[in-house]
Structure 1
Amino acid sequence: MENPLQSPAASPSTEPRRRSRLLRRVLLALVLVAGALGAALLSLPAPRPVTRAPAPAPAPAPGPAPRAMALTAVSTGVPASLPGLAALIAERERHLRAQPRDARAWAVLGAAYVEQGRRTADAANYPKAEDALRTSLRLRPEENARALEGLAALANERRDFSAARSRGEEALRLEPRRWTTYPLLIDAYAGLGDHEAAQRTLDELLKLHRSPAVRAKAAAVHWDRGRCEDAAAQLSDAVASATSPVEQAAYLEQSGRIAFERGDREEALRHFDAALRLDPGRRAAMAGRGRTLAALGRTAEALTAYQQALAEQPDPEHALELGELYQSLGMEQEAGPQYGLLRARVRQGAAAGVDDELVLGRFEADHGDARSAVRRLREEWRRQPGTAVADALGWALHRGGQDEEALDFALEATEAARGGGVRNALYAYHRGMIEQSLGLPGPARRHLEKALRTNPYFSPLAVPQARAALAALGGPPGTEAPGGAAIR
């Protein structure tokens, strides 16, 4: 029987026709598909031309990290940024937890603590610095000039100039060509009133090394010796050749201080503003800006600037300045807290080994107990007889009614032959007032005029008193100030 699911066999005559029909159907289908695809392609938007993206510009080479910059700074005696110091301290602390016998790392850590304490006016850094530096010496008791140099820097910040001199000289005996020790010794000699030794040390330093930091140190020595133009020129060069914004800001702040002490308010303000643009946390420039704004009569701005400086780092010197500015404005209630802050900061500093007897003695002489000021400053003079201490002790003795002895210290502070060659309006004012009390009208008039000629804005409290004293002495009605303005 025939299977119904099985197709009958095709005959040989029909097979070619069957293939031809199949081929035509396939070709027709291909044509239809191609047409459809063509229509679809025609309906699509024209493709955008392919363009190759330009190669990205090469990224600028990264500058040195803040930590590396701070390491360079503390190793070469130049100012360092606060973020860089914090990073360096954190890195050294981590390293020393793993490698506690690395004497060099302990010395670097100690130097970084010293610089951080100086920048922030936070004396709590100093005991940590001392521990780190002494640990370095214990691990490497011989040939460790780096740790000795760090201890000299620490002693200067604590105002222990005898210790700074001792440590600095010891470091130089080990490495006589270690130029970074010389500026520390210059500060120590100046603090001890040995300006001849400071000059000799500067001369030796200049034979070894010349850099912006050395120029800035030379400026300080020139200023102390009364060479004002030389000081300004050295600072100008230091600012121009500084290698970092933080370093440049430090020298601009120093330039602002010198400009103010010469009575040039506008130039001082330019320098302080430029320093703060480069380093907004520079407290000395903030306080200098406040001092200068007050001299320009921009009192509200001056108060704000001082308040910002003290909020950043409450330095007792700046608290005294702000308190006296408040007093000059008749704002006694506002002055009181600033004087309280001064006392508190002096106590905190003393707990960390800082000698702030000079600023406390100056405060006591004018606003507290003059006899206490004399006791404090006599001891300070015995320990480190610098020019600033001579002036402060002379003034305290005058305030305590001991004018004969007071004049001797005033001469020490103002006579170049006795080491007091600095042009300082406050020192000249103190000497003039002492001479007036002693019945010496000619010298008194001469030194009061010199004070107002040097800087007619040296103190918001003392300038009116100087003018009143001149009037009582029967001096001329007007005295030429810088710029040709009359002082009245």
Structure 2
Amino acid sequence: MKRALSFVAAIAIAVAMFVAGSLGPFSPDRTEASRRAAPAALDSLSPAGGARTLDATIAALQARLTDGPKDPVSLGQLGLAYLQKGRITSDPSYFPKASTLFERSLQADAQNLDSMVGSGLLANAQHRFLQGFRWGQRASRVAPYDSDALGVQVDSLIELGRYANAATTLQRMVDQKPDLASYSRAAYLRELNGDVAGAIAAMSLALDATTQTGDDAGWVRVQLGDLYFGSGRLDRAAHFYGTANRVAPDLSLADIGMARLAAARGDLDGAIAIMAPVVERYPTPQNVSFLGDLHAAAGDTDAARRQYELVDVQRRLFAAGGVRPDVELTIFYADHQERPEATVRLAREQY
């Protein structure tokens, strides 16, 4: 059960954030809880921070597996790295690759913890939450005190709507390892229950648990900015988005926060100028949809239409990678009067 703990924890937080990317509009009265869900998205987090480091990690693991024995630890770690690569590039073709590596790892060592946690993260990322929960339980049976395994279960339970069970499991996670991963999940669960002040308090504890610079430090500040933004405290939101940009200049979530803030203050052109390069780097459905909404609000219906068409392209790509449509996509179609028959079908499937 040998593990590279910091590597697994970093990937676990980042991929968990991918689970629920919001496709909603930018208006402040619409909660951003789903974008942060279970703890949706460190845009450049990797084992040591940064996409280039992740690429180097992938190359090193590939070389190790090519030149040496196919050990289950390296297979599991490469699977986790592929899972993270798929998240930050919005390329779902990495998901089947990760799945194959996890399967091979577990065939060689049925108790490989990295691969069990990774399989749970993958299932959650594909919106197969019951399957993700079962993987988390399996990992916990092998390592009862592993916080990453508990985190997979918490994420699954939240997405399944089993909030009381999620809270119980989360308390175990906090008791075992009070850190960024557990505190940020606590903040999200409190927000789901309408306790914004409690969510801010929990996320402040997460901030205390991070380093002063880097993606973790930037991400927590973005979450605090989002919480203040959602409660209408725009000046506090601006403070945290700004400090996030300073401590993690490459973190796109900070730019997204600043774009939302500019839009809320009526500066649509400024918001578009911020979001356009973000979408070029990270064309996720939520980013593309947000840019489309900004163009629509500015009166440029043609530009908005082009972005909305890209959302459907992304939907097909993710479906090819085994990702099930989520509620946010259904809401996007309903809000934008897109694909009415498919919207009804998706809503029925989800409920």
Q: Deviations over 1:83-124 (max 9, x none)?
A: 221111111111111224210111111112222222333323
1:138 aligns with 2:74: no
Distance 1:194 1:201, change over 3 A: same
2:97 to 128, 145, 153: 128
State the match for 2:240 in structure 1. 271
User: 1:74, 1:324 → 2: CA distance?
Assistant: 32
* Aligned counterpart in structure 2 of residue 235 of structure 1, from 179, 195, 203: 203
CA distance in 1, matches of 2:235, 2:144: 43
| Higher-Rg member (1/2) | 1
TM-score when scaled to structure 2? 0.83
Shift of 1:70: 6.9
Describe the shift of the 1:232–1:69 C-alpha distance in structure 2 as closer, same or farther (beyond 3 A). same
Structure 2 match to 1:480: none
Moved over 6 A (4+): none
Alignment CA distance shift 1:72-1:356 (3 Å): closer
1:209 is the counterpart of 2:177: yes
Give the alignment of 1:282-293 within 5 angstroms.
282-293=251-262
The one-letter amino acid of 2:283's match is P
Residue identity in the other structure for 1:306:
M
2:348 equivalent among 356, 369, 378 = 378
Judging changes above 3 Å, is the alpha-carbon distance between structure 1 residues 159 and 285 closer, same or farther for their aligned structure 2 residues? farther
Q: TM-score, normalised by structure 1?
A: 0.61
Output the aligned Cα RMSD: 2.1
More contact order relative to length (CA 8 Å, sep ≥ 6): 2
2:299 corresponds, among 320, 330, 346, to 330
| Partner residue, 2:67 | 98
Whole-Å separation in 1 of the counterparts to 2:229 and 2:305: 26
Look up the SS of the partner of 1:180 in the other structure: helix
1:89-488 correspondence to structure 2 within 5 Å: 89-141=58-110, 143-243=111-211, 245-367=214-336, 368-381=338-351
Distance 2:293 2:134 in 1: 37
Q: CA deviation at 1:75?
A: 7.1
Shift of 1:76: 7.2
Counterpart position of 1:457: none
SS of residue matched to 2:83? helix
CA distance in 1, matches of 2:320, 2:238: 35
Contact 1:130 1:151 in 2 (8 A): yes
Change (3 A) 1:354 1:282: farther
Runs (5+) with no aligned partner, structure 2:
15-44
Deviations 1:211-232 (A, max 9, x none): 2222112111211122211110
Give the distance between the partners of 1:151 and 1:346, measured in 2 at CA: 22
Conserved? CA contact 2:72–2:108, under 8 Å: yes
| Same amino acid, percent of matched pairs | 27
Q: Unpaired segments of 5 or more residues in structure 1?
A: 1-67, 382-488
How far apart, in 2, do the equivalents of 1:133 and 1:261 lie?
Answer: 38
Query: What is the deviation of 1:289?
Result: 2.0
The code of the aligned residue for 2:342 comes to S
Q: Say if 2:40 is the partner of 1:71.
A: no
- Distance in 2, matches of 1:366 and 1:174, equals 44
AA at the equivalent of 2:308 = Y
Give the Cα separation in 2 of the matches to 1:75 and 1:265.
Answer: 31
In structure 1, C-alpha distance between the alignment counterparts of 2:85 and 2:219, rounded to whole Å = 14
Alpha-carbon separation, structure 2, partners of 1:311 and 1:92: 28
The CA deviation at 1:314 is 0.5
Question: Can you list the C-alpha shifts for 1:407-431, whole angstroms capped at 9, x where unaligned?
Answer: xxxxxxxxxxxxxxxxxxxxxxxxx
- Counterpart-to-counterpart distance in 2, 1:160 and 1:289: 32
| Aligned 8 A contact 1:357 1:377 in 2 | no
1:73–1:91 Cα change, 3 Å? farther
User: How many residues are treated as equivalent by the alignment?
Assistant: 313
Match of 2:53 among 74, 81, 84: 84
Which amino acid counterpart does residue 340 of structure 2 have in structure 1? A
How big is each residue's C-alpha offset from its partner over 1:368-401, in whole Å with a ceiling of 9 and x where there is no partner?
24343111111022xxxxxxxxxxxxxxxxxxxx
Q: Contact 1:160–1:355 (CA<8 Å) still a contact in 2? A: yes
